[in-house]
Amino acid sequence: MRAVVQRVAAAVVSVEDREVARIGAGLLVLVSVAPQDGPDEVAWLARKLPGLRIFADAQGQMNLSVEEIGGGIIVVSQFTLHADCRKGNRPSFIGAAAPAHAEPLYLDLVRQLRDRLGTERVGAGVFGAHMRVSLLNDGPVTLIVETPTTKGPDCPS
């Protein structure tokens, strides 16, 4: 699994002009599933995200996690994170899992995060929907997080 994690002051996700998720300070996580991903990758990412120490402490150092600051997380599925853009001008998406494989893993990631942080602190986009994502990036701080088993055409072995 591959995730782009953005520290935000606020974020909102809408589908067809209907708001489906909103947080204040926290993490906006765009996540993509690879064909070889399974429950182990979901569990790893569900443990990693709440513990990332990327929020400022009293001294201004990045020493606090979203869990410690009481922040929220929004998870948005984004298969395009597995795009291979090395050849030509049209990205190849063969590195992304098919929806039938990816959706249950995405939903399980959201469930595990809600189990850990509480339903009210974890929002989600709608898998496969055309979404509008608005965010106020804080820092900016943006990380690429990959599960240890992630390998794809655009990843070094």
Q: Which class for 74: exposed (0-12), middle (13-18), buried (19 or more C-beta within 10 A)?
A: buried
Q: Catalytic site residue 119?
A: no
Q: Of 6, 55, 61, 80, which residue is the catalytic one?
A: 80
Instruction: Please state, in angstroms and rounded to a whole number, the distance separating the CA atoms of residues 28 and 16.
Output: 20
Within 13 A of 11's CA, how many CA atoms are on the CB side?
29
Q: Of 55, 79, 147, 150, which residue is the catalytic one?
A: 79
Bond preceding residue 140 cis, omega within 30 of 0:
yes
Q: Catalytic site residue 112?
A: no
Sign for the pseudo-dihedral over CA of 103, 5, 114, 36: positive
Closest to 41 measured CA to CA, from 148, 157, 155: 148
Q: Catalytic site residue 93?
A: no
Task: Return the number of other C-beta atoms located less than 10 Å from residue 24's C-beta.
Answer: 12
Q: Of 78, 112, 147, 150, which residue is the catalytic one?
A: 78
Instruction: Please state, in angstroms and rounded to a whole number, the distance separating the CA atoms of residues 36 and 69.
Output: 34
Catalytic residues: 78-80
